[in-house]
Amino acid sequence: MTLYQPFLDYAIATLKERLPDLQDYPIPEGFASKSAIVGKGAHQNEVVTTSYGYQSAKLRQIRAAHVQGGSSLQVLNFVIFPKLHYDLPFFGGDLVTLPGGHLIAIDMQPLFRDDPNYQHQYTKPVLPIFEKYQPDLPWGGDFPAEAQQFFSPAFLWTRPKENALVETHVFNAFKDYLQAYLDFCDRAEPITDVSQLAEIKAAHLRYLRYRAEKDPARGMFNRFYGSEWTEEYIHGFLFDLERKL
């Protein structure tokens, strides 16, 4: 059992329970699973990347990338993109374990960060969850200024030192954020205003282009699987909206 497998198992079970219309989302050929042997001699290790994809009536793409490379390399990237006729935020869970420690980022990333009404609707209800975990999962420090526009005031960004914190407090926070997100989905009504729909589409593309361009996993995937596979994985699966449009 790897560190983030329980997170993935919980997320998939919860989606199936909460979204009766859940269906598979197509994963392009060559991306469902990929492995590579890295290192030399006694330090040689297999790295396996497994991908998962789902969709529902209100959610365009629910996808996970799970990287397992031994005790010092564990990654789960779990993201939900709503369909373009809802004003729902994105759900993002980046759970990363590297030789230097753990990097945890969980958020409902707003489409319109500077809109007070939007923040009232989608951030205010999540702030109590954020505050509940602050004592055990304090702020993780510097974050790129250009990225700040894409995160909410309830952004849980932390660098826990011990595995036990990840297995308990981080796992519980992940559960709480995901359940709150699915509560938003339950209540979401389709947007019909043409100008609002255009703003939503622009916000999706702005976010996806930024994430695809700045994907922190690019260097890791390049090293393991080569640049051709990596770029196709990023643009053809992880952030595929432009191609779908």
The 10s digit of each residue's pLDDT in 13-27 is 999 999 999 999 999
Q: How far apart are CA 122 and CA 61, in angstroms?
A: 19
> What CATH number labels 5-205?
3.40.1500.20
The band of 196, judged by pLDDT with boundaries at 50, 70 and 90, is: very high
The band of 1, judged by pLDDT with boundaries at 50, 70 and 90, is: low
91 vs 46, higher pLDDT: 91
Q: Long-range contacts: 191-197, Cβ < 8 Å, 24+?
A: 191/85, 191/86, 191/87, 192/85, 196/87, 197/84, 197/85
- Mean pLDDT of the residues in the chain: 92
- Whether the CA torsion 164, 168, 169, 175 is positive or negative: it is positive
The answer on pLDDT for 2 being more than 90 is no
- Kindly report the pTM of this predicted structure: 0.94
State the pLDDT at residue 71. 75
State the pLDDT at residue 147. 75
Structure tokens that stand for 38 in this block: 């890295």
Q: Which percentage of the chain shows pLDDT scores above 70?
A: 100
182-197 as b/e: b if 16+ CB within 10 A: bebbeebeeeeeeeeb
36 vs 188, higher pLDDT: 188
- Cα–Cα–Cα angle for 176, 87, 215, rounded to 5 degrees: 70
Tell me the pLDDT tens digit for each residue of 217-241. 898 899 889 999 999 999 999 999 8
Q: Which percentage of the chain shows pLDDT scores above 90?
A: 75
- Is residue 194 within 8 A of residue 126, CB to CB? The reply is no
The answer on pLDDT for 169 being more than 80 is yes
The region, left, alpha or beta by phi > 0 then psi within -120 to 50, assigned to residue 167 is alpha
Q: How far apart are CA 202 and CA 183, in angstroms?
A: 25
Q: How far apart are CA 145 and CA 158, in angstroms?
A: 17
Q: How far apart are CA 149 and CA 207, in angstroms?
A: 9
Q: How far apart are CA 87 and CA 80, in angstroms?
A: 13
174 vs 1, higher pLDDT: 174
Question: Residue range 175-189: average pLDDT?
Answer: 97
Q: If residue 120 lies in a helix (H) or strand (E), which one and from where to where?
A: helix 116-122
State the pLDDT at residue 146. 77
Structure tokens that stand for 88 in this block: 């729902």
Distance of CA 230 to the CA centre of its chain: 18
- Flag the least confident range among 36-40, 75-79, 121-125, 162-166: 36-40
Q: How far apart are CA 83 and CA 86, in angstroms?
A: 6
State the pLDDT at residue 12. 97
